[in-house]
């Protein structure tokens, strides 16, 4: 008789590309995954995977069943929720977030998720936008919280729009006293610039904005920590484009520089595959998204 565990094993072998990866995802041994797949193949009367190569390629007959298997798993989760207490999901959920989410509202989000799903096993990763996007595509993450800058990335995913992250050019309080006027793009580019790591969305946004005005930065320092960037700016090493709500407060020692350099806010979203549990968690994220400085 066909079982949900067998269907789940086939689903994750196909998504992750190997029996080993599926076993890690489901927290079981590789031999357990192999046994479940073999039992299902015996019940069906034909192979789902072609094992002649190192990678687990889906057969033509197997391919015709994959969408049905996915729908069956989603339907099972819906039935599980309706037949038990609300939010009784007890599986593993992989969440990805950027550093600004981690610095601000991630703790509140995790508390809300674990309150709503008291039996969930929640695993959270913090990384650069492109890193967590790649992990979502590779099925290593179930939902990510990040800026959306390329519409094509959303193809094949569901998304729940969150708040936009408002930022501003900032400098040390001492430097601000000497720069009361509105700075041009040229004047901004002449100042030492501190940005997030090369390859990060923050770095790309800042560098692109200056280059589009025809004034690439003359001096720059890159760093993998937004907190460290703010401290370096406070120490007078240069200027940076920093999240306004988090870093502009009386005790930060930072001041906002007025410039005529156009910069758009970063629109954040919860991005996930079409999954019942992920959709619920995206709704929870929408309720708790707040880039202000946490209280207490």
Q: Are 283 and 160 in contact (CB under 8 A)?
A: yes
Structure tokens at 35: 């046994």
Residue 10 pLDDT: 87
pLDDT at 208 over 80: yes
Neighbours of 24 (CB within 10 A): 15
For the chain, give the percent of residues with pLDDT over 90: 34
Residue 199 pLDDT: 78
Q: What's the mean pLDDT in 233-251? A: 90
Q: What's the mean pLDDT in 178-199? A: 83
The string of pLDDT tens digits covering residues 32-65 is 988 998 888 888 888 888 877 666 788 888 888 8
pLDDT at 86 over 80: no
Neighbours of 31 (CB within 10 A): 10
Q: What's the mean pLDDT in 243-251? A: 87
Structure tokens at 108: 């509140």
Residue 112 pLDDT: 95
Q: Where are the beta strands (DSSP E) in 140-213?
A: 143-147, 158-165, 167-172, 193-196
Q: What's the mean pLDDT in 120-138? A: 91
Q: Which has more pLDDT, 193 or 250? A: 193
Domains, the chain, ordered by start:
4-83 (1.10.10.10), 92-165+266-288 (3.40.190.10), 167-256 (3.40.190.10)
d(C-alpha 228, C-alpha 242), whole Å: 12
The string of pLDDT tens digits covering residues 67-79 is 888 888 878 777 7
pLDDT at 85 over 60: no
Residue 241 pLDDT: 92
pLDDT range class, residue 180, cuts 50, 70, 90: low
Q: What's the mean pLDDT in 138-152? A: 84
Average pLDDT of every residue of the chain: 86
Structure tokens at 76: 């099972």
């Amino acid at each position: 008789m066909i079982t949900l565990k067998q269907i789940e094993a086939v689903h994750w072998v196909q998504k992750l590309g190997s029996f080993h990866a599926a076993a890690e995802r489901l927290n079981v041994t590789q031999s357990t995954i192999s046994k479940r797949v073999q039992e299902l193949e015996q019940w069906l009367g034909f192979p789902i995977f072609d094992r002649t190569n190192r990678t687990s390629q889906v057969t033509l007959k197997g391919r015709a069943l994959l969408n049905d298997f996915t729908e069956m798993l989603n339907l099972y989760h819906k039935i599980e929720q309706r037949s038990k207490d609300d939010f009784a999901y007890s599986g593993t959920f992989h969440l990805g977030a950027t550093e600004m989410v981690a610095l601000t509202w991630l703790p509140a989000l995790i508390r809300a998720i674990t309150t709503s799903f008291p039996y969930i096993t929640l695993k959270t990763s913090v990384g650069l936008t492109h890193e967590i996007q790649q992990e979502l595509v590779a099925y290593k993450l179930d939902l990510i919280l990040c800026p959306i800058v390329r519409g094509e990335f959303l193809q094949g995913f569901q998304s729940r729009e969150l708040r936009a992250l408002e930022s501003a050019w900032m400098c040390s309080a001492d430097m601000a006293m000497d720069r009361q006027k509105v700075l041009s793009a040229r004047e901004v580019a002449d100042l030492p610039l501190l940005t997030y790591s090369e390859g990060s969305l923050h770095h790309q946004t800042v560098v692109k904005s200056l280059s589009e005005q025809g004034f690439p930065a003359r001096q720059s320092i890159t760093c993998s920590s937004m907190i460290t960037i703010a401290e370096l700016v406070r120490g007078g090493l240069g200027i940076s484009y920093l999240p306004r709500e988090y870093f502009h407060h009386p005790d930060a020692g930072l001041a906002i520089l007025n410039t005529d350099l156009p910069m758009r806010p970063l629109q954040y979203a919860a991005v996930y595959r079409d999954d019942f549990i992920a959709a619920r968690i995206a709704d929870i994220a929408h309720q708790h998204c707040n880039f202000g400085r946490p209280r207490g």
